[in-house]
Amino acid sequence: MWTKSSNITLGTVFNIVTRYCKTVKRNDRNVKVELEATRYRKKPPGGNRFLTVRKLLYQFNAWDNVEWDAEQEKVAADKVQQNSVVTFSEDYLKDLGENADKHWDTFYNIHQNRFFKDRHWLFTEFPELAPDNSSAPVRVFPKSEPSNRQYNEIDEEGIVSTDKGNSTSNINTNYSRTKRSIFEIGCGVGNTIFPILQYSQDPDLFIYGCDFSSKAIEIMKQNELYDTKRCEVFVLDATCNEWAVPFEENTLDIIVLIFVLSAIDPAKMPIVINHIYKYLKPGGLVVFRDYGKYDLAQLRFKKGRCISDSFYARGDNTMVYFFTQDEIRKLFKNAGFIEEQNLIDRRLQVNRGRMLTMYRVWIQAKYRKPL
């Protein structure tokens, strides 16, 4: 029987051989794999990377807009059903909610600013964040989705641009001279704010950020990139009934929700969305990206980690929810927002060394406050 260990063994042998051979012929499929030629190959200009020939699977480490068939959907649903049995005690569930900030403080005490990568992909997905930056490639969506900008490489949260973000040579300096303000909820240690400050040199842009982990805010303020003339971060529990924030209602141009709403109790999510609506100016925009239902991270949970439907506690006691498109649509439309984008991003990641495949699912959306 072919098992996971067999996969690992084959991948290990294949990896060792390719260290000494630039070209290897795989006998099982008789495919010529030129690893050195494909290792740093960029995507085709103006288009995503689609897997149309299965034998080419291991030539790249990521494939875009992967379609799921009914069988794969059923396997994922069965795994979720198995790990959705709630076994936590009432006291433990109460601790998860009441001490969520402390659990994230512990997380940042351990990992500092080393866990999450800076999100240089932001300007591919959400060019509104730095309109003076012209270096991000154009995103190509499936025919069923609206066009926006194009992806490059991929990580736990989505994509990481092949441009590592050290160049500002493609920045447009023809500013509109209009004051702009961006507010990120769940800013962590600055993996979103610092790239925006780096890519956008607009002197009229000011960025606010909040997190309910005081440790995360402390770490971010110690970063040499933290510039109080261009940004301000503070501790805030976004699920509170009243926000104590350094800006007025109806004043923000953009609010950023990147992998943060999923960390909040689903019962409290409407509170956050209603606050967002209150502080955005008329015509203001929300940009959103988070985990989708049946993402690899959800399928990996073992029995006994489920809090409620699609809501789980990780081993470090931080929490994560896995969304559907309809859930996001309902949250924002009930608060009065107009939908501009709501898409499901299915990605196939490939570990070429171990010859393993991993399916990722994210929800990406944009919602605008009416004028």
List pLDDT tens digits, range 287-302.
Answer: 999 999 999 999 999 9
Model pLDDT, residue 202:
87
315 compared with 22, residue with greater pLDDT: 315
Model pLDDT, residue 350:
72
Of 40-54, 61-75, 111-125, 138-152, the one with minimum mean pLDDT is: 138-152
What's domain 70-368's superfamily in CATH?
Answer: Vaccinia Virus protein VP39 (3.40.50.150)
Model pLDDT, residue 320:
94
Model pLDDT, residue 363:
95
Q: What percent of the chain has pLDDT over 70?
A: 65
CA 221 to CA 224: how far, in whole Å?
8
Q: What percent of the chain has pLDDT over 90?
A: 43
Sequence-ordered list of residues with C-beta below 8 angstroms from that of 40, at least 6 positions apart, any chain: none
Asked if 9 and 19 touch (Cβ cutoff 8 Å), the reply is no
35 compared with 118, residue with greater pLDDT: 118
Q: What is the mean pLDDT of the chain?
A: 77
> How many C-beta neighbours within 10 Å does residue 241 have?
7
Instruction: Give the pairing type, strands 311-313 and 319-321.
Output: antiparallel
Query: What is residue 149's three-state secondary structure?
Result: coil
Q: Tell if the pTM clears 0.85, that is, is over it.
A: no
CA 91 to CA 218: how far, in whole Å?
30
CA 212 to CA 216: how far, in whole Å?
8
List pLDDT tens digits, range 195-228.
Answer: 998 888 888 999 999 998 889 899 999 988 999 9
Question: Which neighbouring-strand residues pair with 209?
Answer: 184, 233
List, edge to edge, every strand of the sheet that includes 252-258: 62-63, 338-351, 356-368, 280-291, 252-258, 180-185, 205-211, 231-235
Kindly report the CA angle at 167 between 170 and 196, in degrees rounded to 5?
80
List pLDDT tens digits, range 148-177.
Answer: 433 333 344 443 333 333 334 444 444 456
CA 220 to CA 210: how far, in whole Å?
11
Amino acid at 238: A
From the number of C-beta atoms within 10 Å of its C-beta (0-12, 13-18, 19+), residue 281 rates as: middle
Domain spans, the chain: 70-368
H/E stretch holding 33: strand 31-34
What's the CA dihedral at 22, 27, 33, 34 to 10 degrees?
20
